[in-house]
């Protein structure tokens, strides 16, 4: 879905559009008194106004919500939700910087959010209408705090890591002593070559993948030193011949079906692949491990575009998603970590006790966050990524 042209456009447009978007100011505040068209009573914790038009346009990552959560919101509040999906930050960013997305809620990762805030694409949240913010786990909140100080523009939806997703039996058959808890699975040519035939995928998220290579090489995360980028490119180019594809959504189904055996993927996605395989009873035993070298931790954030047409409905939906029962239902379904402390006791214990999804303090201490990069660095990274994807 993402394109390199999109990435370049995003960087260039950030500067050009910052002033004009900021000048456009806040969203249309076409609010109506509390209540809903379908005549349902508002939930007790309803944080106030809805918009005159009972519609909400949501743009979220694919495979990132329990199937019953949106219908339950529609029923409870009488608001019709139009729900679209994407699978890369670059795609979302290109739309946001062009403006007039038509979306009322979007879900950028925190490192992208920081740049987008500077470009003026979001409106400030009215926290008085998000009382469930009180549930946010301070230990997680402090990690994304530098990217949106004071949670002025966004709240966390889920967080997770990128690591080793693998088919236990196929990997064992290909290499009995495979170092499954290490980035060597991808970045050591002597290891990765064993899995070429059973199929390897890697995420199409250059800002994150480059950090996984830095973690593997012992280079500080988010380094912008050209020599570090060159060292990482060398590692990536050496493993490229063994990779079947670079994509951030297709691997869930392919791991579940046994069409690939190894994915550098996101924690919850691999968890969902395992669930799908179990439900299909197809014999594929899928696991996710956070590499012992450390890993990248990401935070996906709920934010309201400055030009959203239904900002009141958006606030209502954000508060709804932060309700402990709703957050727990979502986390249990998508296998990503909620940062809602009040939801923890309600999450499926299989998910809550999975240390690949909710790592313990020792592992957490070795996780690094993606930070926004300079425009100059992004140009270099984008060119490198194009070379990597094409394998030339």
Asked whether position 148 contacts ligand SPD by CB under 6 A, the answer is no
Dihedral (C-alpha) 12, 15, 18, 20: value to the nearest 10 degrees? -80
Shortest Cβ distance from residue 108 to ligand SPD (Å)?
9
Asked whether position 208 contacts ligand SPD by CB under 6 A, the answer is yes
Q: Which residue is nearest to ligand SPD (CB)?
A: 298
Shortest Cβ distance from residue 62 to ligand SPD (Å)?
5
Asked whether position 330 contacts ligand SPD by CB under 6 A, the answer is no
Asked whether position 104 contacts ligand SPD by CB under 6 A, the answer is no
- The backbone torsions φ and ψ at residue 210, rounded to the nearest 5 degrees and listed phi first, read -60, -35
Stretch that binds ligand SPD, among 56-64, 233-241, 285-293, 381-389 (CB under 6 A): 56-64
- Closer residue to ligand SPD (CB): 207 or 307: 207
Region for residue 24 given its phi and psi (left: phi exceeds 0; alpha: psi -120 to 50; beta: otherwise): alpha
Distance CA 83, CA 80 (A): 10
- Closer residue to ligand SPD (CB): 109 or 222: 109
Q: Are strands 55-61 and 80-86 parallel, antiparallel or unpaired?
A: parallel
Transcribe 312-347 into DSSP letters: HHHHHHHHHHTSHHHHHHHHHHH-PBP-BGGGGGGS
Q: Which of residues 247-286 bind ligand SPD (CB under 6 A)?
A: 266, 269
The pair of structure tokens assigned to 379 is 């140009």
**DSSP label of 203:** -
Contacts of residue 334, defined as CB under 8 A and 6 or more positions apart, other chains included, come to: 63, 64, 65, 66, 158, 268, 271, 272
Shortest Cβ distance from residue 288 to ligand SPD (Å)?
13
Stretch that binds ligand SPD, among 19-27, 58-66, 119-127, 146-154 (CB under 6 A): 58-66
Shortest Cβ distance from residue 312 to ligand SPD (Å)?
27
Asked whether position 288 contacts ligand SPD by CB under 6 A, the answer is no
160: three-class secondary structure by DSSP: strand
- Closer residue to ligand SPD (CB): 14 or 191: 14
Shortest Cβ distance from residue 264 to ligand SPD (Å)?
12
- Closer residue to ligand SPD (CB): 87 or 104: 87
Helices (H), ranges, 69-167: 69-77, 89-98, 110-118, 138-144
Q: Which residues bind ligand SPD (CB under 6 A)?
A: 61-64, 109, 205, 208, 266, 269, 298, 300, 370
């Amino acid at each position: 879905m993402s394109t390199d042209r999109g990435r370049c456009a995003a960087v260039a447009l950030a500067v050009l559009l910052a002033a004009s978007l900021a000048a456009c100011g806040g969203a249309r505040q076409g609010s109506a008194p509390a209540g809903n068209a379908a005549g349902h009573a508002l939930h007790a914790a309803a944080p106030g106004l809805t918009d005159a038009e009972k519609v909400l346009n949501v743009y979220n990552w694919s495979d990132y919500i329990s199937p019953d959560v949106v219908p339950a919101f529609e029923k409870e509040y009488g608001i019709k939700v139009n729900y679209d999906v994407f699978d890369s930050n670059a795609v979302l960013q290109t739309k946001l910087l062009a403006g007039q997305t038509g979306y009322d809620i979007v879900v950028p990762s925190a490192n992208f959010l920081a740049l987008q805030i500077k470009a003026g694409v979001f409106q400030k949240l009215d926290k008085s209408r998000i009382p469930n913010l009180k549930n946010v786990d301070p230990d997680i909140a402090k990690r994304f705090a530098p990217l949106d100080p004071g949670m002025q523009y966004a709240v966390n939806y889920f967080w997770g890591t990128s690591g080793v997703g693998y088919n236990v039996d196929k990997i064992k058959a290909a290499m009995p002593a495979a170092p499954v808890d290490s980035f060597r699975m991808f970045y050591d040519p002597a290891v990765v070559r064993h899995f070429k035939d059973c199929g390897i995928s890697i995420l199409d998220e250059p800002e994150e993948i480059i950090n996984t290579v830095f973690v593997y090489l012992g280079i500080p995360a988010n380094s912008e030193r050209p020599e570090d980028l060159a060292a990482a490119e060398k590692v990536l180019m050496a493993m490229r011949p063994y990779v079947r594809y670079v994509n951030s959504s297709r691997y869930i189904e392919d791991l579940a079906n046994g069409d690939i055996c190894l994915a550098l993927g996101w924690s919850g996605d691999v968890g969902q692949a395992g669930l799908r395989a179990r439900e299909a009873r197809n014999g594929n035993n899928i696991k996710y491990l956070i590499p012992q070298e450390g890993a990248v931790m990401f935070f996906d954030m709920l934010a309201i575009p400055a030009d959203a047409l239904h900002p009141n409905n958006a606030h209502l939906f954000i508060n709804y998603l932060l309700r402990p029962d709703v957050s727990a239902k979502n986390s249990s379904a998508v296998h990503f970590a909620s940062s809602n402390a009040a939801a923890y006791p309600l999450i499926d214990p299989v998910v809550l006790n999975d240390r690949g999804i909710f790592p313990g303090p020792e592992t957490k201490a070795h996780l690094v966050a993606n930070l926004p990069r300079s425009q100059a660095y992004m140009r270099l990274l984008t060119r490198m990524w194009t070379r990597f994807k094409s394998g030339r």
